[in-house]
Each structure stands twice: as structure tokens, then as C-alpha cells.
Chains A and B, each alone.
Chain A
Amino acid sequence: MIRAFAFIFGLLASTVAADDLKLAVTTSFHNSGLSDILLPAIQADTGINVQLLVVGTGQAMRLGQAGDVDAILVHARAAEEAFVAGGFGTHRREIMYNDFVVVGPVSDPAGIAGADTAQQAFTRIAAAQALFVSRGDNSGTHQKEIALWEAAKRAPDGNWYRSVGAGMGAALNTAAGMNAYILADRASWLNFGNKAGLGMLYSGDPALFNQYAYIPVNPDLHDHVRADLAERLEVWLTSERAKQLIDGYRINDEQLFTFNAAAAD
């Protein structure tokens, strides 16, 4: 019995390590494969072992609010500003952007490939009542999708609109299975291994740009938050080295992310 307790306490003790930083990131950031490039470089340059929690933007904010992570890297501007205004984060620092693309069956029943704007593409999907898969998980991608429906002045309801409540990859799998349209970020789409009958049909509208921002969790609310590490990570993420790695990351010769962090003031 004593041995069992000693074992349990041994487990508890072994869980705290020196330079571990917990960072909540969005599924699209992780599925893009960029994290696999950045994390080893961060470890080598700063000695910080970044532990990624891959969740939707909505859940990332909840984790930051509760103090369960040290910083968040997300892409939903309105929600981010509310997060900082609520005092849960110290400040918001823009790091990079990528863009969203509209993916759908290559036969393109709604005819969105020739659309002039993203808004028009969405209007056509609604008019054709073509099957559309929504993330439905309050993530940054989902919030962007809702904004696009509002811009197109179309209420997404009816049998053709399928809200799956899942991450980017799982939602893409669903869309591939149903041969449906879906809004995805470019990186996740290019990295996705099960494209089936889907193709990228519309992209390029500035309305589809997707800004990622880094927000350290407020240490005044949570004593245990590693504000020192979060600051070192921010310095690295906005450095020349990060710029080279982010701008240099390519899949099939396509640049996925564009570094746009402002220099430190």
C-alpha cells in the first residue's frame, strides 16, 4: 500500500519540468505542418519546450481564461480583442497570416469557380442549395464562415447545410465523404491526405485573409503562468529567424504563411 502511494506521488512529482510552456493553438495551425518546423527551432534557439494543445479558437480562449495554458496563438480578431479587453491576456501581437479557400466537388455544381468575390461564391452555394459542411465548433474558421454568410446575406439553414462540430481535418473528411463544399484554410487543405473528389475552387479574395495573433495569458490572474517563457517565445516568434522559417515553409511549391509581425517598439 505504501509502495502504491509512493508510486503515485512519484508520478505527481515528475510532471513539473523546468522550461515547459503550454501553448493553445488552432487545429489549422497544427494541421498545416508549420508547427513541426517551428517547434524544434524554438527548442534549439531558446530552450523552451513548447507543449501544443491543439484545439479550436473557442476552446483555446477558454483554456487561456482558466489559466490552463501560458499563451495562445489563434485567428479570430473580434474574439481576441474581447479576450484582451476582458483582462485575460496581456496584449495581442500579430505574427503572420495565411488565407482561406473554398473547397468543393470538382464538378462544382454551384459554379463558384468563376465567382468574383468570396461573397458571391457563398451566395451561389446557398442559391444552388449545394451540400456545405460547416466546422460548427466556434473556431476561427467557423467564425470566418459565419461572417461570409452574413456578408452574402444568406442564412445557412436547411438540409444542405451540415454543421459537424469538429476540427479542420475531421470536417474535411466529412466533406470528402459527402462530396460537399467547405471553407478551409489553405495550409490544412494542401496538407490533407484524403482529398477524394474534392478540389480547391475559389481563393484569393482579401476577405479570406486569416491573421494569426499571439496572446500571452495575464500572469496577474494566474501566478503559475510562465510569463517569462511566454515573453521569450514572443521575441522569438517576431524575430528574423521566425520570418525566414514561416515565409520559407512550402507545400507543393506554394507559400502557405506570410510573416507580418511588426518590429518591437
Chain B
Amino acid sequence: MGEIWEGLVAGFWLVITLDADLVAITLRSLHVTLTAVMIASAIGLPFGAWLAIQRFRHRRATIALLNALMGLPPVVVGLIVYLLLSRSGPFGVFGLLFTPTAMIIAQVIIITPLIASIAHQAIRDVWAEYHDLLLSLSTSKWQRIKTLLWDGRRALMTASLAGFGRAIGEVGAIMIVGGNIDNATRVLTTAIALETGKGDFALALGLGFILIGLAVTVNLVIHTIGQTEREGKW
């Protein structure tokens, strides 16, 4: 119990004193994860919508596969991205290993199936409602996807936020492809792993509380901007 309290105190002081390292690490966490969420949403949301309205031969199998990929083990994704980006791997010439870009790539792979799958579920409900209307207006497929994405935007926000939640707390993949380099690729989760390794549990826990606080703040901000709680507005 004593160590949890010490952790709270350590976290509190880090925030109060605006520790320069902490600010840099926190901003890097946000940069990596928000970029990954944006890219994954740009791919996953339209793909989920397309999957909801399009009928094709192996649709069921595709959806089942997509759902299964939600559980992709981050360590395996990290290892594969590592081998691809390594200087001796196929994309080695770009020199991306141990950079924030490599971390973003790994996170995009981890969260795109999650975002696409939740988006698919959400859009399917909207599509059931809009089906007759959109068909009677003889809209094109892309117009339908756009309409569904726009009118389902609040449910889709949940999809993106779920992706954010998975990415911000992830440590296995980004440790492998980022390397936890001080001032270059160290983020909150890898810093926590490092401090735990040093046996400095109070600092590790303090960073942990900051990470949780960050996740809550980002969610609150996005919900406020999105005005999800406003009455009478869909």
C-alpha cells in the first residue's frame, strides 16, 4: 500500500513541477498514438462502412477474420515490423527502425482492425435505417459510404477512441521497434517498463498515473468537442 501512495505522490510532483523530461515523453506518447489513430481511422472507418454495405462472396469470412485480428498480439506485430524495417530487412533502406515513425507503423497495424471492426458494427445499424432511402435516391457507393460515415460519426468516434485506448497503453510492440531511446523514442509506457526494471516502483507508478490521466483527458476533450451529451441532437 505504501508504494502506491508513494507513486501517487511521485506522479503528483512530476506534474506540478512540469518536469522537462516528463513533458517531452508525454508529448511523444501523444504524437505517436494520435498520428497512429488518425491514420488507422482514415483506413479503418471507410473500410468498416464499405464492409457493411457491400455484399460479396467471402464477406462473412472477411468479417470473422477482421474480428479475430482485433486480438493481434502486439509483441508479434512488433517483431514482424522490426524484421521488415531492420537494415537487413526488405524496407531497411529507409532507416526507419528505432524512430517514432516505426512506432506509428506498428500501432497502425495493431489498431486498424479494431477500429474497422467496431466501425462495421456501428455502420451496419445506421445502414439498416438508411437502406431504403439511400437506394431510392440512387446514390453511388461512395456517396452512401460518406453519408453513413457522417451520420454515424458519434458511434465512429467510439471506434477511434477504442483504438486510442489500445495504442496509448501499448508497450510490447513499440519497445521492440522503438528501442526506448532516451530523447528519441521513449514514451510513457516504455519509460514505465524501464523504471520498473530499475526497481524504482514509485516513479514507475507515478508515470502510470500520468498515463491514465492522459487517457482520461483525451477522451474528455474529444467528447466535449464532439458534444455527445447535447440533448436532441444526433
Contact = CB atoms under 8 A, between A and B. Distances in A.
B87 A170 contact: no
A224 B182 CA distance: 22
Nearest to B82: A68
A11 B101 contact: yes
Given A51-B98, A52-B181, A53-B181, A173 B88 contact: no
B42 interface: yes
A176 B198 CA distance: 12
A51 B184 contact: yes
Contacts of B101: 11-12, 15
Contacts of B198: 31, 169, 191-193
B93 to A, nearest CB: 8
B199 A192 contact: yes
A222 interface: yes
B199 A66 contact: no
B37 interface: no
B2 to A, nearest CB: 13
Given A11-B100, A11-B101, A67-B87, A31 B197 contact: yes
Prevailing SS type, chain A contact patch: mixed
A167 B190 CA distance: 14
B69 interface: no
Interface residues of A, number: 35
A8 B39 contact: yes
B38 A4 contact: yes
Contacts of A194: 199-201
A156 B17 CA distance: 49
Nearest to A22: B98
A27 interface: yes
A68 B97 contact: yes
A194 B199 CA distance: 5
A174 to B, nearest CB: 11
A51 B181 contact: yes
A54 B180 contact: yes
Contacts of B96: 12, 15
B100 A27 contact: no
A222 B87 CA distance: 8
B86 interface: yes
B43 to A, nearest CB: 10
Contacts of A167: 197
A68 B197 contact: no
A192 B195 CA distance: 10
A167 B98 CA distance: 19
A196 to B, nearest CB: 9
A200 interface: no
Interface of A: 1, 4, 7-8, 11-12, 15-16, 20, 22, 27, 31, 51-55, 65-68, 167-170, 172-173, 176, 191-195, 222, 224
Interface of B: 35, 38-39, 42, 86-89, 92, 94-101, 104, 179-184, 194, 196-201
23 contacts: A7-B35, A12-B101, A15-B96, A16-B95, A20-B184, A22-B181, A51-B181, A51-B184, A53-B180, A53-B181, A54-B194, A66-B86, A67-B87, A68-B86, A68-B97, A167-B197, A169-B196, A172-B199, A173-B199, A194-B199, A194-B200, A195-B199, A224-B95
- Which 10 residue pairs of A and B lie closest in terms of their CB atoms, listed nearest first? A169-B197, A194-B199, A67-B87, A193-B199, A66-B88, A15-B99, A53-B179, A51-B181, A193-B200, A192-B199
